[in-house]
Structure 1
Amino acid sequence: MIVIEGTSKVTFGEGTLSELELAIYEKKQNSSTEYRYDSVDTLLFELYMRTQIMEASKALSASGVYFADFKHSMCNPAYWHITDHGRFQLKSGVAPQDAVRDIFTNGTSYAFECSMAVVVVLYKAILESIDSSHFDMLTSDLLLFDYHSNNNLHLIQRIANEEAVTGDVLYFENPEYEPMVPWGKGENVVMMENDHFFGHGYGLGIASKDVVIKVLNKQRIPGSTQSAFLTDRYVHPDFSYFALFQCRNRDKPIVAKVGDWTYVRKCRIH
């Protein structure tokens, strides 16, 4: 259930939410888990940013970025320095927004693992959701690696993957993977619409749960009996935090409170 300023009685006018935003909203609203928001604006920002995470996933999938383990990572030296551990460190004097966008426009200059792909997607979504000057301020020390090493993402951990919606980051574990293929131990993915996932490893792109598991199962040791599976844990950025930095010129909806109900509709300019 979604609770905004103490009430779950919220209704949206026709056209206020996109089809995807409405699907996300309805799943969270119909859940037994309580999701609290301090304002309608914070909820709308989350729905918008989740859409941007999906769009960034699609863009990275089509960008031409190669898959590589950390030892063989590759990047554009005009924007990044590769550390000994395969991390991408932003070069001095480079605007973070320019460096992130370069990954999507010059994809063939880059190669990295699935965990870094998720990080890249999340930073791109943040960039497209907040004021660009704020993005540069928040990520001035930008270091790309896995999402466990990126405090700037302000990730929140959750359990029970049945609660996950578009824009959440999940993990497929492969418990009996072939040790000679260490990247076969699992796959970091972004949840997309229609029960599909974006995964960078093995050229997955956007695929169903069954396809991700099938691909990982090909990397198991001979005689293995335990299939790869989708784990319960998942993460997502703290949307309420990033909502503080959203663009001021974003269209604001009309919000009216009548009794116990809150009515939200798109502001139409004639």
Structure 2
Amino acid sequence: MILIHGVSAEQINMLPLSFLERSILNKKQNSPVVYRYDSLGALHFELKTRASIVEAAKALDASGVDFADFDQSRCNEQFWNRMENGGFQLRSDVLPSDGINDIFRNGKRYAFECSMAIVMVLYKGILDVLPKQTFNRHFQDIILYGWHYDRDLPLRKIESGLEVYSGDVQYFKNPDYDPETPEWQGENVVVLADNLYFGHGIGIRTSRGIIDALNKARRPFSYTSAYLMDEVVILEYELLRTLPLREERTEADIEDVVIAHIGIRKYSYQNS
């Protein structure tokens, strides 16, 4: 059930939505769980962003990027610097939006493992719904390395019992993986639809398809199956939606704040 103070179900149903956005809305409306939103705009933003994440996952799958562990990772060095640990650091002369978009446009120049892929998909999904200027301001100095992500990318992990929707992130664990191939100890996935997932290195498959792929990477003579863990990582959509609003500070506010740089850290304080 969806509840928005002062907004009727009829008004909610009048939102201009894509097919995927409408399917997410219907699933939430028919759920026994109560989903509360501050405004109709907050609901619309979440639906739009979830659909954008799904499209980003499909785009990465079709981009030609390769799967590789950190030792064998590669990137387009016109946009990213490859670090010694195998991660990618955005070049100082490149806009964050350009760096993320290049991964999807020139995928054949990139290779990385599955957790980095998930973070890329989240960044791309957000980039396609936020104003570009807002994205570039709040996601500067991007480093792509495993589950490393910018503090302005608000993620929350729920351990169990939460309903799962398109755009959420889950994990298939392979507890008896072959030590010779530790990269297959599990698979981070983006939920595309009911029982349909994207996992980098495996592709777009059902849960059975992902489990079967992981089971092929078990240690010899193992019969312990991979499985989908009962946890989900979700975006804090309202924090993302209000990023542009938090930029709208008055000139007096700006003049009243002193910004200091110490090393790579930035500090601010109010003049008294």
Could you tell me the TM-score, scaled by structure 2's length? 0.84
Using CA pairs under 8 Å that are at least 6 residues apart, name the structure with larger relative contact order, 1 or 2.
Answer: 1
Query: Is contact 1:144–1:150 with CA below 8 Å preserved after alignment?
Result: no
**CA gap 1:148/1:232 in 2 versus in 1, 3 angstroms:** farther
Q: Which residue of 1 aligns with 2:51?
A: 51
Q: Which residue of 2 aligns with 1:174?
A: 174
**CA gap 1:54/1:41 in 2 versus in 1, 3 angstroms:** same
Q: Which residue of 2 aligns with 1:116?
A: 116
Deviation at 1:14, TM superposition (A): 5.5
Letter in 2 for 1:106: N
Deviation at 1:93, TM superposition (A): 1.6
Q: Which residue of 1 aligns with 2:147?
A: 147
Alpha-carbon separation, structure 2, partners of 1:26 and 1:117: 29
Secondary structure (helix, strand or coil) at the match of 1:151 reads coil
Q: Which residue of 1 aligns with 2:248?
A: none
Q: Which runs of 5+ in 2 are unaligned?
A: 246-272
Query: Is contact 2:119–2:149 with CA below 8 Å preserved after alignment?
Result: no
User: Aligned ranges for residues 1-270 of structure 1 at < 5 Å?
Assistant: 1-5=1-5, 9=9, 11-13=11-13, 16-160=16-160, 163-201=163-201, 204-245=202-243
Question: Identity over the aligned pairs, expressed in percent?
Answer: 45
Deviation at 1:7, TM superposition (A): 6.9
**CA gap 1:7/1:237 in 2 versus in 1, 3 angstroms:** same
Alpha-carbon separation, structure 1, partners of 2:31 and 2:109: 43
**CA gap 1:149/1:139 in 2 versus in 1, 3 angstroms:** closer
Secondary structure (helix, strand or coil) at the match of 2:232 reads strand
Deviation at 1:184, TM superposition (A): 1.1
Secondary structure (helix, strand or coil) at the match of 1:129 reads coil
Alpha-carbon separation, structure 2, partners of 1:43 and 1:148: 28
Alpha-carbon separation, structure 1, partners of 2:76 and 2:219: 36
Alpha-carbon separation, structure 2, partners of 1:113 and 1:43: 32
Letter in 1 for 2:223: T
Secondary structure (helix, strand or coil) at the match of 1:104 reads helix
**CA gap 1:7/1:225 in 2 versus in 1, 3 angstroms:** farther
Could you tell me the TM-score, scaled by structure 1's length? 0.85
Q: More deviation in 50-59 or 235-244?
A: 235-244
Deviation at 1:28, TM superposition (A): 2.0
Q: Which runs of 5+ in 1 are unaligned?
A: 248-270
Alpha-carbon separation, structure 1, partners of 2:148 and 2:2: 28
Alpha-carbon separation, structure 1, partners of 2:7 and 2:131: 30
Deviation at 1:52, TM superposition (A): 0.4
Secondary structure (helix, strand or coil) at the match of 1:152 reads coil
Deviation at 1:205, TM superposition (A): 1.7
1:212-253 CA-to-partner distances (Å, cap 9, x unmatched) read: 000000011122222100001111221111112469xxxxxx
Deviation at 1:4, TM superposition (A): 1.6
Alpha-carbon separation, structure 1, partners of 2:96 and 2:148: 20
Query: Is contact 1:161–1:231 with CA below 8 Å preserved after alignment?
Result: no
Deviation at 1:10, TM superposition (A): 5.3
1:32-87 CA-to-partner distances (Å, cap 9, x unmatched) read: 33322111101100000111001101110010001000111100111111112111
Alpha-carbon separation, structure 1, partners of 2:162 and 2:86: 33
Query: Is contact 1:129–1:246 with CA below 8 Å preserved after alignment?
Result: no
RMSD between superposed Cα atoms in Å: 2.0
